[in-house]
Amino acid sequence: MTTALKVNRPQPIITDKPLEHFHINSNIDLTIKVLESGQPILITELYSNGLLLMKEIQQYLKVKFPGESFQEQREYRSAYQKLSNLVLIEVVGHQLKVKKAPSIGWLTNLYADTSSFLLSFPQIQGLNSSWQWYQNGISIPVLRNKLHPYYGTYFPTRFDHLILFDNWLKRYEGPKKTAMEVGVGSGVLSFQLIKHGFQKVFATDTNPNAIVGLQEFMGETKLSRKVELDFGKLFGRWENKTELIVFNPPWLPESKDTEGNEDAIYYNEGLFPEFFAAAKKRLLPEGKLLLVFSNLAEITGLTKDHPIEKELAKGDRFKLEKCFNRKVKAASSKTKRDQNWRSTEEVEMWILTHK
């Protein structure tokens, strides 16, 4: 098992330059002009002042980007990210230096090497939400126990694809000696495999937080002896052949404004060809390759290419045994997503075998 990994965390901001302050009596329009000029703003006095400024930035950008299509909402989010990340807040002694602020354990756990620094307000919001999920746990319909996801680790907030996978596992009659999962994240698919009788799962991830988080979550339990982890790209150090390979890849192609920390959401053009080439070498002759995917990129117009269909069309590595589809549940009335495309969204589960 991989140990002593350096986890990802929001980079501490250290500056000697005087910063413009924002408090309850600050002029909102002037503050936003300062942000648009690329200059940072420091939240002072109350934590709620940060929440207020975030809300004002959102209102300002909704007027500037009124469209509701998937692409227009993407542009809005990009603009919001740019402005909001210039809003800073101070940490002193591992605590936020404003009144009525939440207590966030990650400020101690992730920053043992420094106790006083600046972070952007959205980063603090992310740390706060993550700490609540980590402390309280998250219920997943297909698992018996709650997850306690580590900071910076992907975990599912929608479950249609997990239900599809669980239903398939209930009917699976093949050997269950070993399986491999590429991109383990918070461990849901691997835990499903163990729940349905697989003796050993070899799992990898390129995110050190996923590996560290799962090591901590599993501890010295029986689960830790059944799920073996490796920090690495695709199959990492796992070279042995297996009867089942599982991969829930990112569902959207990356674009020029994709952030580097969104690897769980966006895929680059080399990911699928590299994965299929590596999977070919590790799948037993009668084994199955299972990919969980979605038609999201196609119905939102981000691409016309379906990477799994593209691989099958080549016809030199794998053939299709079965593709299962499940309609995604209707969006919440509170969602900002465009209902027109959401109504045609489906999750997919592709079962491939050797050619």
Question: How confident is the model over 50-73, as pLDDT tens digits?
Answer: 999 999 999 999 998 888 787 888
Residue 6 lies in a domain: no
With vertex at residue 118, the alpha carbon angle to CA 112 and CA 123, rounded to the nearest 5 degrees, is 85
- Residue 256: pLDDT band (50, 70, 90) is low
Phi, psi of 127 (to 5 degrees): -65, -40
Q: Which residues pair with 119 in a beta bridge?
A: 89
Identify whether residues 181 and 308 lie together within a single domain: yes
Q: What does the DSSP assignment read for 173-230? A: -S--SEEEEES-TTSHHHHHHHHTT-SEEEEEES-HHHHHHHHHHHTTSHHHHHEEEE
3-state DSSP assignment of residue 353 = strand
Q: Return the half-sphere exposure (C-beta side, CA atoms, 13 A cut-off) of residue 84.
A: 24
Q: pLDDT of 311-324, one tens digit each?
A: 999 989 999 999 99
Identify whether residues 122 and 183 lie together within a single domain: no
CATH number of the domain enclosing 289: 3.40.50.150
What's the rounded Cα separation, in Å, for the pair 34 and 38?
Answer: 7
Residue 341 lies in a domain: yes
Quote the pLDDT of residue 303.
76
> Among residues of the chain, what percentage have pLDDT more than 90?
75
Q: How many Cβ atoms are within 10 Å of 314's Cβ, its own excluded?
A: 11
Domain boundary residue among 96, 118, 135? 135
Range of the domain at 248: 160-354
Residue 305 lies in a domain: yes
- Residue 250: pLDDT band (50, 70, 90) is confident
Q: In the structure encoding, which two tokens stand for residue 17, read together?
A: 């330059």
Instruction: Of 243, 278, 275, 222, give the one whose Cα is nearest residue 172.
Output: 243
pTM of the full predicted structure?
Answer: 0.87
**Domains identified in the chain, total number:** 2
Q: pLDDT of 60-111, one tens digit each?
A: 999 988 887 878 888 899 999 999 999 999 999 999 999 999 999 999 999 9
